[in-house]
Amino acid sequence: MAEEERGHVEAHHHDHEVAPENRDVEETGHYELMATAIRELLVEKGVVTPEQIREQLEFMDSRGPALGAEIVARAWTDEAFKERLLEDGTAAVDELGIPMAGLELVVVENTPDTHNMIVCTLCSCYPRTILGLPPDWYKSKSYRSRAVIEPRAVLEEFGTSIPENTTVRVHDSNADMRYLVLPMRPEGTGGWDAERLAGIVTRDCMVGVALPDASG
Amino acid sequence: MQRQHDMGGMPSGPVDPDSPPTAPWAKLITATVGALREKKLMTVDEMRRALEDLPSEQYDRDYFERWAEALTDLLEEKGLATHDEIAGRMDEIRRRLEGGT
């Protein structure tokens, strides 16, 4: 739907919003029980095995921003890899042994002219095989709603200011296609090796809500 | 008609950049969905549809609570487990924990 049409749609679904801070502890207990009940039932029925669940948990725990930082640092230090990464993200990260599990990866490069940030307005699609599970704010109604309409205001809430003459481009992910931001390599990191560079590439930099800081 | 999940551009409050770690039960739900997908018993689009079809009071819950609700709906739809079975097992686990048996 076009942005200008949205203002006319009644925001009726906000009426029922349950503010997380208003929920009592009992409700979290409810979902803990639900998760355990589902696992027990599916295992007993032979639908899934405990090993299959464990493998999923282990894979989940093996994913995290360090993988993304490795990709970015490699791109900063290897021009040919960077070209492949921007051309076909899925194939390029596969070279590093990072699977996209059937999804397409699109890597968007920050330049002095363009700053990129990513969102998933429709759900919370996120490059999980690279960055791990998304942070709470990425899944929040506030971020999903506002990132596409007032990205600079959202960036300010993360303490990030983008110069007025730089275009801010927001990429809306979907179930089949995930984005990763390739930040600009900061000034003053000329002599740094890939490992040291990876140390300044945070999750938020790769979502595009922060910039790498080489001053620390 | 604009549906509840299509929230891009809607007015909303400030973003809280804090991000607490994911609870173990939330990881378990995610792993269960992953295992079912791996076994081709469920697709990413079926899960997405189940999420989008949730009643608003469930859709507006925390992300993983929403996932848990959508998963139970899909399990029933696919004949893998009913809501009643899940509720019954939850009671049983609660009794088990309380009784220490």
ipTM of the complex: 0.91
Domain assignment present for A17: no
User: Which residue in the set A3, A38, A154 is minimally distant from B32, CB to CB?
Assistant: A38
Q: Are residues A46 and A105 in the same domain?
A: no
Domain assignment present for A183: yes
- What is the rounded distance in angstroms from the CA atom of residue B62 to the CA atom of residue B29? 13
Q: Are residues A92 and A137 in the same domain?
A: yes
Element (H or E) spanning A167, and its range?
A: strand A167-172
Given a cut of 60, is residue B6 above it in pLDDT?
yes
Q: Are residues A28 and A116 in the same domain?
A: no
Domain assignment present for A137: yes
Tell me which chain B residues have a C-beta less than 8 angstroms from the C-beta of A36: 25, 28, 90, 93
Domain assignment present for A151: yes
User: Exposed, middle or buried: residue B23 (CB in 10 Å: 0-12, 13-18, 19+)?
Assistant: middle
Q: Are residues A195 and A116 in the same domain?
A: yes
Q: In B1-101, at which residue ranges do the beta strands (DSSP E only) sit? A: none
Q: Which of A125, A129, A87 is nearest to A109 (CA)?
A: A87
CATH number at residue A158: 3.90.330.10
Q: Are residues A38 and A129 in the same domain?
A: no
Domain coordinates in residue numbering, chain B: 24-99
Band (pLDDT 50/70/90 cuts) for residue A27 is low
Tell me which residue range forms the domain holding A188. Answer: 63-207
Domain assignment present for A6: no
- The residues near A10 (Cβ < 8 Å, ≥ 6 apart) are none
Q: What is the pLDDT of residue A26?
A: 55
Q: Are residues A39 and A118 in the same domain?
A: no
- Contact between residue A105 and residue A180 where contact means Cβ atoms under 8 Å apart: yes
Q: Which of B42, B67, B23 is nearest to A42 (CA)?
A: B42
Could you tell me the CA-to-CA distances from B24 to A29, A63, A81, B50, B58 in Å, in that order?
12, 16, 37, 23, 21
Band (pLDDT 50/70/90 cuts) for residue A178 is very high
Pair of tokens at residue A160:
């990030």
Tens digit of pLDDT for each residue in B12-62? 888 888 888 899 999 999 999 999 999 999 998 899 999 999 998 888 888
User: Which residue in the set B6, B18, B81 is minimally distant from A38, CB to CB?
Assistant: B81
Active site residue A205: no
- What is the rounded distance in angstroms from the CA atom of residue B67 to the CA atom of residue A195? 37
Domain assignment present for A18: no
Q: What is the pLDDT of residue A3?
A: 34
- pLDDT average, residue stretch A185-191: 95
- What is the rounded distance in angstroms from the CA atom of residue B41 to the CA atom of residue B53? 19
Given a cut of 60, is residue A111 above it in pLDDT?
yes
Residue numbers of B between 55 and 84 with CB closer than 8 Å to A: 56-57, 59-65, 68, 71-72, 75, 80-81
Instruction: Provide, rounded to the nearest whole percent, the portion of chain A with pLDDT above 90.
Output: 80
A208–chain B nearest CA distance, Å: 13
Band (pLDDT 50/70/90 cuts) for residue B10 is confident
Q: What is the pLDDT of residue A21?
A: 43
Element (H or E) spanning A107, and its range?
A: strand A104-109
Given a cut of 70, is residue A183 above it in pLDDT?
yes
Q: How many domains does chain A have?
A: 2
Q: Are residues A31 and A112 in the same domain?
A: no
Question: Cα-flanking dihedrals φ and ψ of residue A169, to 5°?
Answer: -110, 125
Higher-confidence residue of A16 and A31: namely A31
